[in-house]
Amino acid sequence: MPAAAKRRRVGVAVVGLGGAVATTAAAGVEILRRGTNRMDGLPLAGVSVPGLCAYEDLVFGGWDLNGQSLAEAAAEHRVLNDNQLDETAPALAAIRPWPAVASSAFCRRIEGANAREAKGHRAAIDAIIDDLMRFKAANDVDDVVMINLASTERTPADSPALRTPEAFARAVAENDLSIGPAMLYAAAAIEAGVAYGNFTPSVAADAPALAEMARQRGVPVAGKDGKTGQTLMKTVLAPALRARSLHVDGWFSTNILGNRDGQALEDPDSLKSKLGTKGSVLDSILGYRVEDHIVDIRYYRPRGDDKEAWDNIDVSGFLGHRMQIKVNFLCKDSILAAPLALEIARVLDLAKQRGEGGPQEQLSLFFKAPMTANGRAPEHAFHTQERMLQDWLGVPAPAAAAE
Amino acid sequence: MPAAAKRRRVGVAVVGLGGAVATTAAAGVEILRRGTNRMDGLPLAGVSVPGLCAYEDLVFGGWDLNGQSLAEAAAEHRVLNDNQLDETAPALAAIRPWPAVASSAFCRRIEGANAREAKGHRAAIDAIIDDLMRFKAANDVDDVVMINLASTERTPADSPALRTPEAFARAVAENDLSIGPAMLYAAAAIEAGVAYGNFTPSVAADAPALAEMARQRGVPVAGKDGKTGQTLMKTVLAPALRARSLHVDGWFSTNILGNRDGQALEDPDSLKSKLGTKGSVLDSILGYRVEDHIVDIRYYRPRGDDKEAWDNIDVSGFLGHRMQIKVNFLCKDSILAAPLALEIARVLDLAKQRGEGGPQEQLSLFFKAPMTANGRAPEHAFHTQERMLQDWLGVPAPAAAAE
Amino acid sequence: MPAAAKRRRVGVAVVGLGGAVATTAAAGVEILRRGTNRMDGLPLAGVSVPGLCAYEDLVFGGWDLNGQSLAEAAAEHRVLNDNQLDETAPALAAIRPWPAVASSAFCRRIEGANAREAKGHRAAIDAIIDDLMRFKAANDVDDVVMINLASTERTPADSPALRTPEAFARAVAENDLSIGPAMLYAAAAIEAGVAYGNFTPSVAADAPALAEMARQRGVPVAGKDGKTGQTLMKTVLAPALRARSLHVDGWFSTNILGNRDGQALEDPDSLKSKLGTKGSVLDSILGYRVEDHIVDIRYYRPRGDDKEAWDNIDVSGFLGHRMQIKVNFLCKDSILAAPLALEIARVLDLAKQRGEGGPQEQLSLFFKAPMTANGRAPEHAFHTQERMLQDWLGVPAPAAAAE
Amino acid sequence: MPAAAKRRRVGVAVVGLGGAVATTAAAGVEILRRGTNRMDGLPLAGVSVPGLCAYEDLVFGGWDLNGQSLAEAAAEHRVLNDNQLDETAPALAAIRPWPAVASSAFCRRIEGANAREAKGHRAAIDAIIDDLMRFKAANDVDDVVMINLASTERTPADSPALRTPEAFARAVAENDLSIGPAMLYAAAAIEAGVAYGNFTPSVAADAPALAEMARQRGVPVAGKDGKTGQTLMKTVLAPALRARSLHVDGWFSTNILGNRDGQALEDPDSLKSKLGTKGSVLDSILGYRVEDHIVDIRYYRPRGDDKEAWDNIDVSGFLGHRMQIKVNFLCKDSILAAPLALEIARVLDLAKQRGEGGPQEQLSLFFKAPMTANGRAPEHAFHTQERMLQDWLGVPAPAAAAE
Ligand SMILES: NC(=O)c1ccc[n+]([C@@H]2O[C@H](COP(=O)([O-])OP(=O)(O)OC[C@H]3O[C@@H](n4cnc5c(N)ncnc54)[C@H](O)[C@@H]3O)[C@@H](O)[C@H]2O)c1
Ligand SMILES: NC(=O)c1ccc[n+]([C@@H]2O[C@H](COP(=O)([O-])OP(=O)(O)OC[C@H]3O[C@@H](n4cnc5c(N)ncnc54)[C@H](O)[C@@H]3O)[C@@H](O)[C@H]2O)c1
Ligand SMILES: NC(=O)c1ccc[n+]([C@@H]2O[C@H](COP(=O)([O-])OP(=O)(O)OC[C@H]3O[C@@H](n4cnc5c(N)ncnc54)[C@H](O)[C@@H]3O)[C@@H](O)[C@H]2O)c1
Ligand SMILES: NC(=O)c1ccc[n+]([C@@H]2O[C@H](COP(=O)([O-])OP(=O)(O)OC[C@H]3O[C@@H](n4cnc5c(N)ncnc54)[C@H](O)[C@@H]3O)[C@@H](O)[C@H]2O)c1
Ligand code: NA
Ligand code: NA
């Protein structure tokens, strides 16, 4: 890089800034800034494309119902080890979330005092836009992207209010109850021309009204629900089973996790949102319906952020003979998620520079339920998604290969 | 298909015709011929390309040290269920292996009376060519392909005899001990212009001398070592780990199996051949060396042909945090292998019709150690291999999708 | 045994005679009768105690909602292999269940035409007693025991009717809705002086009213819920963890099964009965409450009667360091259960000969929720239960050792 | 405890004091001394028997080939967490191992400079006795016990020298090569009247000559090979399988571990010693020979001290139907071992106070290959072993229950 070139700085405005994924992402950028040479977990670490903001040049701000500083929040989540907490404490202590827009009707198990007095939907959207403008100005960044890393909300009732930009505008004016906080944040981003990525299973920019608005205004949006553990495995294994014509008779998936996200999923309504994004992946890849596809998620405290997933796959092979594949993934939820959130932010910022608006399909490989343009069905096969992003970036081969 | 078109018939001359994989393949074709509608396990069942011989039009013959009929052999292997054995018994009883070319120096644990009196390498090659000619004539087939499904041989000592066609010819004349049975069969195929596929880990057409001979004479060859279970999983998972920049710190693989192939692998020399083809896959896909990559294979009788594999993968993710993935594959060895042997035969036959000679890289996805042309490094990533075959076949999408 | 001694013959009157466990038990006895020498799975096969009826001398009869013959029923359950079905078909075809006493209020997912016209509780009890008398007379047996192998019923609402024999008698007269079919069968057995064993989680002889009645009348009763798979493992492992002072931080158990019992457990009320008997085992053995003890059961058709259980145990050891134990049990539900049902019948018959009435604690090792006398807490540790039975039988060492 | 009673203090002289198990034990006692209230992992924490020395009153000394202080050694083993290392560093820094008696012929992969100049076997034994006397005097302890926690030695060739005390004495005088270091340490302990426990698989006090010497001199000895992980599980599960008459058709066990002990086991001769003690357990418990019993141990660095074991058990149940049980134990090797070493030391000290000499069978539950008196076969079933210790201690129920 020519020494003279000014480096691009990008502000990342996070919904749920005090959460496990968000604090891990912010702490990780701080550790990268301080000069580690290990880039594990960052899928695009090896990619060098003009305009792609460096990790160290991402600046964090955002909203959370919990008003504690990111240093305090990170210490509570127990994702980072003691050295990492110590090293990042000074920088994270300086970041404190802005008051949040929330609704207990949309996410029951999460509470927090750091909420904005809500005077209706319009006022909420405007306040979010204000926050975005202030954030941008205060940090001297080239641009801002918004990433939703908040607790999972329940799926809203199907409502005409969510179908067209016009209906949505009316519903905002009327404080329609089918509009939840995630949608208000997304609407604010789109109105403000701020690229928006949704790492949660909550309905937001994927509501048809908002997707259309993003398209009309040329704002890049992407989502939803980060693909980190079990669903990642599913979208890696299922294409291979299909390629070998091994028929999937059943697929049983169960998960235990003990972090705050797991606690939020104890609310059956939030769980439903999560199961929704996990469900259709398999049938779409295989080309037929797997009736015995079961997904369980259980809150189990001994594990904290160390999620564990079991998959059992029953397949039929040649001449109808039956076989089983079992996968046991002992993962770290936020460790897998945080770097993906960083990549989504960087690619969305690049998309905006390239003048691309509406759903960004090239980001499909980071999501369980990828948003698509023009009513296309989403692509779920992992390696095909990988190629989509490589093609869009204009890089020849898997980035991580450059080790 | 226009009713008038004469259907292509192809003879499959199998080395190791009485083995578990071979008898399963032959029985499977018989069951397909009798009209089942389940095509599970056959990767190219949905592919329709001119010249590709139908499964039902494959005709089986071949050599085995064991002279019993295929019906008797299949009953001993206990791969098929009782109904399937009954249904195929009449057809399989009519097939009896030809006397084999063998060498106890190359494969210790396997014995059998059905061996040809060996009067030196040249005589052996000529006898095999004779067998091929007689087989072709007797069955009124359009062409013949040879598939090696015999017991794993030990790796030959590195010898100049295997480096060039000329050296090989001299070594044949001198009955050089570095030439084993698998190479004699392969040499016979190539001399006879018969396409050759090697499903075993034994050195055969991949000896540089024979690969060059195949190129010079325009005979398609492919190999080696069918990719059915654990290595298949490895080449499916490793590309995804790389795409997510999850660093592989170690990969421990162990297997138990109780069939005759497992027994043959109790000979440490044969085991070495097998571990050889399993070893390099990982480093090649990941782009770095995994020092703690361990592969164990153990003969364990309670399982018979039901092989079981465990994989434990240790990975490092974002900020150096460690995670584990465990895969437990309860597979049926020959059930996975037999359909691949059928596809290899069909594609080799098509390659010969298309006039392509030498190593057939488009068959990489069926092999643990794919042969390549022009000294290229083999492609191991499963989905890339899949695309290579699709491109060569000229089909747009994964064949099996058409369910 | 002196040749002259007349062998004891015992009738086993089974509630749910057409079920998977019952048909496997009946078929098994037929196979033993025909002279197999494999006694696998029969815990007391090596025990020789005067009065203990031989397996071959058990005679089967009983009730089922489904009126088909045991041969037809066994063929549907797909527990036995084809040879075993063939071998037992003639004998099983001759046994056809008697009309059942049932209530859709107590077990929703199970239907069947072979139901007795119910004219109130009293009439039902009398009819069951009649059946027992007729069964005994028709088969020239020395005595009869009743074993409940019917579908799991929902747990009845707590009701004063179930507390004392007197209240129960009044409730029978008034056709009180808190009395379900399992209790009617148990009451009939006790009234008729027929020993009663409950292999299901349904409330029956364990209702205080009936346990007291059994005590008063000197009828041996035992239950409940056969301990076959996951709970067996729990009661084997937990005592060892306690002996090593490994603290159980959490225990996650999940199950998939695809048989009719699994289907019945899709009814949340029946599931609750099952989870009830599975729940307290752990705390009782360990001596402290494991708050993160989770048990899931899921109906998953690909497996049929092949149940699969996963357990994950999180333990803390020396200096607070954490470890994990994972157990994966690929079992056959009815294959494990049927021999236990046989042993329960044989031991109950022996208890009656010995003049013992009321709950038979020596049978604890066969049950998830053992009934106890005198308000004692049940013993759950497997090896202690084993010793209890050995002591009662008067045998020195584990019976099965005599191999 | 009456305030006036002087507390018993016991010196623990450890062979291999700088090893992972030894440093964990020493650090653990220091942490207990500083007042933790968590007694996890200590099987006898709840037992209160007169004469049983408190954990805090154990004093550590011993030999190691590696001369670094225990603080340095503990830091290298990475068994304890950072807090625990910090907390114990001052105390452990003050302990430095005495020069060791060693032989590269008996343990190839382990090196170290801290070796005593060996002038023959007799001189070595005398030097060890000197060390013991000095240790006792310097620390004002009531008595001393010796525990062998050194690297696994190879199994010595069968030799008459090891059969009787007299032959052994002659062999010592003649510096016979069949006598290895572990035997010299054990001989020194017995000569010095110091109770001796062998936590390693090396041959030591179990050589008939030394066992007899211990009996004659009334010195308590116990061993060998601590039962911590996979073998523990085996001796817990196998008795239950026998109690249920589930026939074990095969048992496949494999282990990965990356600590120094794992490295030592890369030497095939040391591995043989280990496999020896692991092998016979199963047949002894089941009462028949399991031919397909396989045990693998593999050095795999990513895990360090976090050993992982897989067990696959194939069983046949009722009517010959086959089932599988799989156990995956993610354990911490030294965390499991260290508290057992402490208990062995405490019980040996108590045995000496009670005047019991020779093999101490009541310690069987801590060993893979328990030493027995009078040529009895060892008891392997875990729960029977537990009762043996309880009976000997005179406590009614499992100690750990008192939570
Ligand atoms: N592997 C993963 O971790 C993963 C994968 C896919 C999706 N996700 C999703 O990412 C999201 C974050 O996960 P997490 O583990 O960090 O959860 P978390 O519970 O630790 O953090 C969520 C944060 O959002 C805050 N919050 C809730 N409602 C809010 C609102 N209306 N406005 C502002 N802040 C609000 C909460 O106070 C909390 O601090 C979840 O929706 C989760 O489902 C995570
Ligand atoms: N999943 C799989 O089953 C799989 C996967 C990859 C590779 N393979 C390889 O395929 C081969 C066949 O496997 P299998 O399970 O059928 O083994 P098998 O032992 O059942 O059959 C091998 C047959 O080859 C015969 N044979 C041995 N030497 C011969 C010779 N010189 N000439 C002719 N016949 C000879 C033997 O008599 C035997 O009948 C093995 O090399 C195996 O390693 C199998
Ligand atoms: N390992 C095991 O299989 C196992 C272990 C513990 C407990 N159990 C219990 O054993 C019972 C039997 O299990 P299964 O697998 O044989 O179930 P199943 O569903 O195959 O059989 C139950 C039978 O009971 C009949 N039935 C239902 N209600 C009845 C009534 N009121 N009167 C007479 N018959 C009636 C049904 O028609 C059916 O034939 C279940 O309650 C199950 O929970 C089984
Ligand atoms: N779970 C367990 O950790 C476990 C279980 C059963 C048995 N064991 C046995 O316990 C022993 C110790 O295990 P570890 O993990 O602590 O091993 P380690 O390798 O960490 O420690 C062994 C120590 O012994 C020292 N040593 C070697 N030869 C010696 C000699 N002749 N004299 C004095 N010191 C000597 C070495 O220098 C080393 O410091 C091994 O034999 C192991 O097989 C351990
Ligand atoms: Na998370
Ligand atoms: Na059942």
Q: What is the pLDDT of residues D351-390, one digit of tens each?
A: 999 999 999 999 999 999 999 988 889 999 999 999 999 9
Chain C CB contacts of D314 below 8 Å: none
Mutate to test the interface with B, among D263, D310, D313 (most CBs of B within 10 A): D310
pLDDT tens, residue by residue, D88-146: 999 999 999 999 987 666 655 566 788 887 688 999 999 999 999 999 999 999 999 99
What is the distance in angstroms between the Cα of C292 and the nearest Cα belonging to chain A? 6
Q: How far is CA C26 from CA C68, C84, C339, D237, in A?
A: 15, 12, 10, 29
**What confidence tens digit (pLDDT) does each residue in B185-232 have?**
999 999 999 999 999 999 999 999 999 999 999 999 999 999 998 999
- Chain D residues with CB-CB distance to C243 below 8 A: 43, 365, 382-383, 386, 398-400
- Look at D335 and C323 and tell me if their CB atoms are within 8 Å: yes
Higher pLDDT: A117 or A110? It is A117
pLDDT at D12 over 50: yes
- Give the best residue of B78, B248, B251, B252 to mutate against chain D (max D CB count within 10 A): B252
Please provide the DSSP assignment of B290-328 as one string: -TTEEEEEEE-GGGTT--EEEEEEEEE-GGG-EEEEEEE
Taking the CA of residue D23 as reference, the ligand 4 atom at the shortest distance is 16
Q: Given strand A358-359, what is the order of strands in its sheet?
A: A58-63, A10-15, A143-148, A195-198, A220-223, A358-359
Are C308 and A325 in contact, with CB atoms under 8 Å apart? no
- Given this model, what pLDDT does residue C326 score? 97
Query: Which range among A188-192, A213-217, B155-159, D321-325 shows the weakest confidence by mean pLDDT?
Result: B155-159
Residue B245 is nearest to which of A41, A325, A329, comparing CB atoms? A41
CB contact under 8 A, D301 and B292: yes
Which of residues C370 and C229 earns the better pLDDT score? C370
Question: Within A290-363, where are the H helices?
Answer: 333-353
Q: What is the spatial distance between Cα C362 and Cα C371, in angstroms, rounded to a whole number?
A: 10
Decide if pLDDT at C208 tops 80: yes
Atom of ligand 3 nearest to the CA of C260: 19
Distance CA C388, CA C400 (A): 15
Rounded percentage of chain D residues whose pLDDT exceeds 70: 93
Q: How far is ligand 3, taken at its centre, from the CA of residue C373, in Å?
A: 26
Mutate which of D14, D17, D21 for ligand 4 pocket (most atoms within 8 A of beta carbon): D21
Residues 6+ apart with CB under 8 A from A105: A154, A177, A180
Q: How many beta-carbon pairs under 8 angstroms link B with D?
A: 51
D302/B249 Cβ within 8 A: yes
d(CA C374, CA C208) in angstroms, rounded, equals 11
Q: Ligand 3 pocket by C-beta < 6 Å: which residues? A: C 15-16, 18-22, 63-66, 100-102, 107, 110, 112, 149-152, 181, 199-201, 225-226, 228, 259-261, 264, 333-334, 336-337
What is each CA distance from C246 to A218, B77, C83, C283, C294, in whole angstroms? 59, 46, 47, 14, 19
Please tell me which chains touch A, using 3 or more CB pairs under 8 Å as the contact test: B, C
Residue C397 pLDDT = 58
Higher pLDDT, B93 or A153: B93
CA atoms within 13 A on the CB side of A268: 0
pLDDT of residue D260: 80
- CB pair distance less than 8 Å for A310 and C254: yes
Q: Is the pLDDT reported for residue B176 higher than 60?
A: yes
Asked if D240 and C232 come within 8 Å (Cβ–Cβ), the reply is: yes
What pLDDT, in 10s, does the model give residues B378-403?
Answer: 999 999 999 999 999 998 754 333 33
Instruction: Tell me the pLDDT tens digit for each residue of A149-177.
Output: 999 988 888 889 999 999 999 999 999 98
Average pLDDT over residues A220-234: 94
Let me know: does C150 contact C273? Beta carbons within 8 Å.
Answer: no
Q: Do B293 and B279 meet the contact criterion of CB atoms below 8 Å apart? A: yes
Q: Which two tokens stand for residue C123?
A: 């009439």
Q: What is the CA radius of gyration of chain A?
A: 21
**Pick from D194, D189, D292: which is nearest to D248 by CA?**
D292
Q: Which residue has the tokens 């009996």?
A: D215
- B34 burial (CB, 10 Å; 0-12 / 13-18 / 19+) is exposed
| Interface mutation vs chain D, best among C237, C245, C343, most D CBs within 10 Å | C245
* Residues of chain D with a CB closer than 8 angstroms to some CB in chain B: 249-250, 252, 254, 256, 291-292, 294, 296, 298, 300-303, 308, 310, 312, 314, 322, 326, 328
Find the ligand nearest to A229 CA: 1
Give the range among A121-135, A208-222, C153-167 with minimum mean pLDDT.
Answer: C153-167
Atom of ligand 1 nearest to the CA of A152: 41
Question: Prior bond to C224 cis, omega within 30?
Answer: yes
Whole-number pLDDT of residue D109: 55
**More confident position, D273 or C341:** C341
Full-prediction pTM beyond 0.90? yes
In this model, does residue D5 exceed pLDDT 90?
no
Q: Does the pLDDT of residue C106 top 70, yes or no?
A: no
* Residue A131, pLDDT above cutoff 90: yes
pLDDT band at A400 (very low <50, low <70, confident <90, very high): very low
ipTM: 0.94
pLDDT at A53 over 90: yes
Contact D337, D201 (CB under 8 A): no
Q: Which residue did the predictor score with more confidence, B180 or D4?
A: B180
Contact C39 D321 (CB under 8 A): no
- A255 alpha carbon to ligand 6 midpoint, in Å? 26
Neighbours of chain C (3+ CB pairs under 8 A): A, D
Residues with CB under 5 A from ligand 6 (ion): C 20, 261, 333-334
Q: Which ligand sits nearest to residue D200's alpha carbon?
A: 4
Residue located nearest, by CA, to atom 8 of ligand 3: C200
What does the alpha-carbon distance between residue D334 and residue B145 come to, in Å, rounded to a whole number?
58
Q: What is the 3-state secondary structure (H, E, C) of B218-245?
A: CCEEEECCECCCHHHHHHHHHHHHHHCC
Which of A21, A232, A234, A267 gets mutated to test ligand 1 (max ligand atoms within 8 A of its CB)? Answer: A21
In this prediction, residue B184 has a pLDDT band, given cuts at 50, 70 and 90, of: very high
Cα of C69 to ligand 3 centre, how many Å? Answer: 16
Tokens linked to D315: 């069983």
Binary contact (A296, C254; C-beta < 8 A):
yes
Measured in Å, residue A241 CA sits from the centre of ligand 5 at 29
Is the pLDDT at B29 greater than 50? The verdict is yes
pLDDT at res. C226: 96
Q: What is the pLDDT of residue D402?
A: 34
Summarize pLDDT for A325-365 with one digit per residue, the tens.
999 999 999 999 999 999 999 999 999 999 999 999 999 99
pLDDT at A64: 96
Chain B residues with beta carbon closer than 8 angstroms to that of A287: 400-403
Q: How confident is the model at residue C108 (pLDDT cuts 50, 70, 90)?
A: low
Res C402: pLDDT: 34
Q: Average pLDDT in the B164-193 region?
A: 95
Q: What is the mean pLDDT of chain D?
A: 91
Find out whether the peptide bond into B224 is cis, omega within 30 degrees of 0: yes
Q: Which of A202-216, A255-269, B10-24, B243-257 has the lowest mean pLDDT?
A: A255-269
Q: Yes or no: say if C223 and C367 are a contact pair by the CB < 8 Å rule.
A: yes
The pLDDT tens digits of the residues spanning C211-220 come to 999 999 999 9
Q: How confident is the model at residue A108 (pLDDT cuts 50, 70, 90)?
A: low
Does the pLDDT value for residue C262 go beyond 90?
A: no
Decide if C301 and A312 are in contact by the 8 Å CB cutoff: no
Q: What is the mean pLDDT of chain A?
A: 91
For the CA of D229, the closest atom of ligand 4 is: 1
Q: Compare all CA atoms of chain D with the CA of C325 and give the residue at the minimum distance.
A: D329
CA distance, residue A339 to nearest chain B CA (Å): 7
pLDDT value at C4 more than 70 = no
Share of chain B above pLDDT 90, in %: 79
**Least confident interval from C22-36, D177-191, D276-290, D346-360:** D276-290
Residue D151 clears pLDDT 50, i.e. is over it: yes
Task: Tell me the per-residue pLDDT of D35-48, one tens digit each, with 9 for 90 and over.
Answer: 888 899 999 999 99
pLDDT at residue C105 tops 80: no
Return the ligand number nearest the Cα of D203: 4
pLDDT at B400: 36
Does pLDDT of A401 surpass 50? no
For C256, name the nearest residue in chain A, comparing CA atoms only. A252
Residue C324 has pLDDT above 70, yes or no: yes
* Chain C interface mutation, best of D47, D80, D244, highest count of C Cβ atoms under 10 Å: D244
B374 pLDDT exceeds 60?
yes
Q: Which helix (H) or strand (E) holds A281?
A: helix A281-286
Burial classification of residue C33, based on how many CB atoms lie within 10 Å of its CB (0-12 exposed, 13-18 middle, 19 or more buried): middle
Torsion, Cα D187 D191 D197 D201, to 10 degrees, reads: 10
Contact (CB<8Å) D312/B250: no
**Ligand index nearest the alpha carbon of residue C265:** 3
Q: What pLDDT does residue B393 have?
A: 96
Nearest CA in chain B to A325: B329
